Amino acid sequence: MADDPMPDRPSPTGLASPRVRVGLLAAFLLAFDLVLLASVPGPTTALVGSHPTAVAVVVAVAFALSERLVFHIEARNEAVSYSPSDLPLALGLLALSPVAFVGARLAGAAAGMVLWRRPPLFKFAFNLSVFTAESLIAVVLFRSVVAAGSAVTLATWALLSGAMLVGLVTAGALIAVAISFFEGDVVARVRKELTHSYIFYLPGAVLASSTVVPFLIEPWLGLLFLLPAPLVWLVLRSHGALMHRYSDLTDIHEFSRQVGRSTELEEIADTAVRQIADHLRAGTVALTVWDVEGTAVHSCYGNRDALHALPTGPKDPEWADALVATAPLMIQDGDPDGPLQRRLVAAGLGQAIIVPLGDHAGLLGALLVANRHGAVETFTDDDRDRLRPITNQLVVALRKGQLHLQIQHEATHDRLTRLPNRAYFEAWAEQMLEIETERSHAVLMIDLDRFKEVNDTLGHHGGDLLLLQVTDRLLASVASGDMTSRFGGDEFAIFVPGAGEAEASVLAEIVSTAIERPFQLGEATVAVAASIGIAVAPHHGSNCETLLRRADLAMYDAKRRHERSTVYRDDLEGRDSARLTMLADLREALATTSLEVHFQPKIDLRTREISGVEALARWTHPVHGAVSPADFIPLAEQSGLIYELTQQVLDQALAAVRHWSDLGLRIGVAVNLSPQSLIDERLPRMIAASLERARVAPGHLTLEITESTMIGDARRTLRVLESLDQLGVRISVDDFGTGYSSLVNLRHLPISELKIDRSFVADMVLGRSDAVIVKSTIDLGHNLGLTVVAEGVETAEVQDLLRSLGCDLAQGFGLCRPLPLAKLDAWLETSRTFSRTAESGSGAGPSLRPVRHWTAPVAGPDRSG
């Protein structure tokens, strides 16, 4: 029996080097051997027998052969190499002189190792010194009690067995010490050697002496014992194989237990390489795993250069063949030098087993196992097969790790944009605020304007595309240390470490500019804007919650005031609660129908007739006085009060038409509709009922809808629009130019009027570009057969320009402010410059035709201006 698990792999040099230490141990043993040899009684006399030369040859050959007949039992940290060397040991002890015996032992073992095992020199020397010690210990013990020439008896047998056992166990312990130079744990190893190996040493020794002793008494008796010997040998062998299998199973179990402990990919990989190195007694194990995002996680045991031999990704061309393999592949040193082999050699690796790690769901990574050490220094097919159940377990564990990573990512990130979500943002920001209390930090809350309209008109897909592009632009605007997050919907937040108000405002400007560039969403070009609220720590709050709430208030303020960004101010806090009271008050106003409507004329630029009026809601708050529609309309929209509001405005507007009609004046009215109303399928019935109640022909009602509500293929909007069209009311596109600039989409819609937004009209005389926009809009509108209205006409200059450009109608403070019904009647009356013309067909009275004075601004109690 011989143990032989000398690892052979690159190690530190000098005294720390395990090789040097093994060499020193061998030298020490050599000295010890010489002392033993000197103290052996009767060194040149054999105990029994004749023909010492022939016996010596037999013993030497048997020792040599036993190097060949080694079979290995390897478990995790155990490598027992069993060989039938006990027989020549027993024979030599009895039938050779101690000197001849040790000589035969050395010669045989040396020849056997050279012929079949070729260990490195240090190991060769060490093994020989151990074998010598083993033989000498046995021989000294044996010969100390059994004198040369004494008869072979039962006592001889027992003493022989005992002496052999001591020699074998000592050798085992010495080898355990040598292994510990490489792998550590000297005490545990020696203890294990002494407690676990009796299963081999004791029966081995007893069996050998039982065979040899009777043989020497009476040669034919030896035959009797020779019969059970192979049997016992076989039993031991199969026991070894069983132990082998059993230890493999426990290894696999242990492996899945160890790697199953963690759900972190890195940890799984680290555990796996260590376990696999142990299991296969490999000096080098390297592993690469690709996570969900495709980022590689590496882990390595032993030679770190092995990492360079790993595939760089699932598509690494040099690994292409290996990665599609369904089983572990053995790459031999001697293989023709393919690219993969070259990489292995460059990494200082010879023979290796490589394993693609994958399952039905795809490739996860790859494993490389190299530098076999232990009794056998190259991997066998058996090793390769033993790797399989382990890697199967590994794949399961890695999948679990991936899934965990994915779940973790999903719990902290937004699915669509992959940005961190609110929870992650808050945790991150909170930490930042806690650690860096010295500096100021800014929080930006960003809300897109008109996102809901994009969603409603272009569908969710369009909305998603927009959000993705917005995300790209946000990320391109921020610095790498900033935290950008999507809170949901069209709400984003940015945490800027170390920023004060000034830096945050600059960033807000950059972000706004980036977002205001048009977006291309498939066919449609979309213009959106952002409202940004800023709060700065520690001035506006020292915790994340307060900062976010205050940035949110600032953001709403920016939205309300149509500004790009607002920095939080203390009075905003009060406004928020004011907003809630305001909502209750608005509800009350609607319940008591105390909302008023003012009317602003639209005038024909060519004939100078009043073509109609626009109804504008007015609300006088009992405490705060006049509230701007820019404040209460959004409030109504957000709180679901808009349906009720529209109905009341509509009723008052149609009542006015009825009133003028009764006076014999034919004036149509325009009512504004919020985007929400257009997807409200109750709307057409409500309007029809209103028209009927007021006894007004549908042709006298124009519905103003914003341009952005109209494009795209939102089916509901189209359905509502079509039923309104069937009703016979006119539809006008309001604020034209501020939303989507795709007139093409308008062509398919039942509209009859375009209102150019006042932002273009007001600056027309100043900037050429606005005039060009107005001009081309007028032309395009006309090409589509639409009436074109310019709103926000404040000066005679603008009005003249519009006329020269061919614009049909104009509306604005320069013509007439919005007025309450009575005031408008008075204005109509005092103008006195109407000519009454009978109109045919419409059933309405004559139209009013202001001839001269209509351009004079009329001072009216317009509360909105």
Shortest distance in whole angstroms from residue 789 CB to ligand C2E = 11
Using CB under 6 A as the binding rule, whether residue 674 contacts ligand C2E is answered as: yes
Coil, strand or helix: which one is 484?
Answer: strand
Shortest distance in whole angstroms from residue 518 CB to ligand C2E = 22
Which residues 525-554 are close enough to bind ligand C2E by CB under 6 A? none
Q: Which stretch binds ligand C2E (CB under 6 A): 452-460, 739-747, 774-782, 805-813?
A: 805-813
Rounded to an integer, what distance in angstroms lies between the CA atom of residue 730 and that of residue 734? 13
- Single-letter code of the amino acid located at 555: M
Chain centroid to Cα 819, Å, comes to: 59
Yes or no: say if 53 and 97 are a contact pair by the CB < 8 Å rule. no
The beta-carbon contacts of 686-689 under 8 Å, at least 24 apart in sequence, are 686/643, 686/646, 686/647, 686/650, 687/650, 687/724, 687/727, 687/729, 688/727
Yes or no: say if 320 and 333 are a contact pair by the CB < 8 Å rule. no
Contact track, Ca ion, 795-814, x by CB under 5 A? --------------------
Q: Which of the choices ligand C2E, Ca ion, none does residue 600 contact, using the CB cut-off of 5 to 8 A by kind?
A: ligand C2E
Tell me whether residue 105 or residue 817 sits nearer to ligand C2E (CB atom): 817
Using CB under 6 A as the binding rule, whether residue 794 contacts ligand C2E is answered as: yes
Tell me whether residue 303 or residue 646 sits nearer to ligand C2E (CB atom): 646
Q: Which of the choices ligand C2E, Ca ion, none does residue 818 contact, using the CB cut-off of 5 to 8 A by kind?
A: ligand C2E
Shortest distance in whole angstroms from residue 407 CB to ligand C2E = 45
Q: Cα angle vertex 217, ends 216, 220, to 5°?
A: 80
Tell me whether residue 331 or residue 762 sits nearer to Ca ion (CB atom): 762
Using CB under 6 A as the binding rule, whether residue 629 contacts ligand C2E is answered as: yes
Handedness of CA 155, 156, 157, 162 (dihedral sign): positive
Q: Cα angle vertex 73, ends 71, 78, to 5°?
A: 140
User: Residues 275, 672, 676, 690: which binds Ca ion (CB under 5 A)?
Assistant: 672
Q: Which of the choices ligand C2E, Ca ion, none does residue 3 contact, using the CB cut-off of 5 to 8 A by kind?
A: none
Using CB under 6 A as the binding rule, whether residue 616 contacts ligand C2E is answered as: yes
Helices 570-591 and 642-662: angle between axes, nearest 10 degrees? 50
- Single-letter code of the amino acid located at 678: L
Shortest distance in whole angstroms from residue 746 CB to Ca ion = 16
Handedness of CA 62, 67, 72, 76 (dihedral sign): positive
Token output for 740:
């989507």
Rounded to an integer, what distance in angstroms lies between the CA atom of residue 523 and that of residue 458? 10
Coil, strand or helix: which one is 841?
Answer: coil
Shortest distance in whole angstroms from residue 809 CB to ligand C2E = 13
- Indicate the residue whose CB is closest to ligand C2E: 812
* Terminal Cα-to-Cα distance of the chain (whole angstroms): 107
Token output for 829:
């009356």
User: Residues 4, 193, 704, 707: which binds Ca ion (CB under 5 A)?
Assistant: 704
Using CB under 6 A as the binding rule, whether residue 633 contacts ligand C2E is answered as: yes
User: Residues 628, 769, 804, 837: which binds ligand C2E (CB under 6 A)?
Assistant: 628
Shortest distance in whole angstroms from residue 734 CB to Ca ion = 4
Using CB under 6 A as the binding rule, whether residue 601 contacts ligand C2E is answered as: no
Which residues 339-358 are close enough to bind ligand C2E by CB under 6 A? none
Which residues 676-715 are close enough to bind ligand C2E by CB under 6 A? 704
Using CB under 6 A as the binding rule, whether residue 734 contacts ligand C2E is answered as: yes
Q: How many CB atoms lie within 10 A of CB 110?
A: 18
**Across the strands, what pairs with 791?**
811
Yes or no: say if 163 and 141 are a contact pair by the CB < 8 Å rule. yes
User: Residues 735, 753, 770, 808: which binds ligand C2E (CB under 6 A)?
Assistant: 735
Tell me whether residue 440 or residue 648 sits nearer to ligand C2E (CB atom): 648
Rounded to an integer, what distance in angstroms lies between the CA atom of residue 3 and that of residue 666? 115
- Indicate the residue whose CB is closest to Ca ion: 704
Contact track, ligand C2E, 825-864, x by CB under 6 A? ---------------------------------------x
Q: Which stretch binds ligand C2E (CB under 6 A): 120-128, 407-415, 420-428, 629-637?
A: 629-637
Q: Which stretch binds ligand C2E (CB under 6 A): 9-17, 326-334, 434-442, 667-675?
A: 667-675
Measure Cα distances from 845 to 71, 198, 828 in Å: 117, 122, 15
User: Residues 159, 617, 773, 810: which binds ligand C2E (CB under 6 A)?
Assistant: 617
Yes or no: say if 302 and 330 are a contact pair by the CB < 8 Å rule. no
Rounded to an integer, what distance in angstroms lies between the CA atom of residue 445 and that of residue 425? 12
Tell me whether residue 161 or residue 741 sits nearer to Ca ion (CB atom): 741
Q: Which stretch binds ligand C2E (CB under 6 A): 88-96, 209-217, 231-239, 811-819?
A: 811-819
Using CB under 6 A as the binding rule, whether residue 763 contacts ligand C2E is answered as: no
**Across the strands, what pairs with 534?**
444, 567
- Residue 307: in which H helix or E strand, if any? helix 306-309
User: Residues 158, 411, 416, 630: which binds ligand C2E (CB under 6 A)?
Assistant: 630
Q: Which stretch binds Ca ion (CB under 5 A): 388-396, 587-595, 790-798, 836-844?
A: 790-798
Which residues 709-748 are close enough to bind Ca ion by CB under 5 A? 734-735
Which residues 740-759 are close enough to bind ligand C2E by CB under 6 A? 758
Token pair 């946000």: residue: 474
Shortest distance in whole angstroms from residue 681 CB to Ca ion = 23
Using CB under 6 A as the binding rule, whether residue 559 contacts ligand C2E is answered as: no
Measure Cα distances from 113 to 107, 230, 286, 380, 644 in Å: 10, 24, 31, 19, 101
Q: Which of the choices ligand C2E, Ca ion, none does residue 174 contact, using the CB cut-off of 5 to 8 A by kind?
A: none
Using CB under 5 A as the binding rule, whether residue 707 contacts Ca ion is answered as: no
Site for Ca ion (CB under 5 A): how many residues?
A: 5
Rounded to an integer, what distance in angstroms lies between the CA atom of residue 787 and that of residue 811? 13
Q: In terms of C-beta density within 10 A (0-12 exposed, 13-18 middle, 19 or more buried), how is residue 178 classed?
A: buried
Using CB under 5 A as the binding rule, whether residue 127 contacts Ca ion is answered as: no
Tell me whether residue 295 or residue 628 sits nearer to Ca ion (CB atom): 628
Q: Are strands 701-706 and 352-359 parallel, antiparallel or unpaired?
A: unpaired
The full length of the chain comes to: 865
Q: Which residues are near ligand C2E by CB under 6 A?
A: 600, 616-617, 628-630, 633, 646, 649, 672-674, 704, 734-735, 758, 792-794, 811-814, 818, 864
Q: Which residues are near Ca ion by CB under 5 A?
A: 672, 704, 734-735, 791
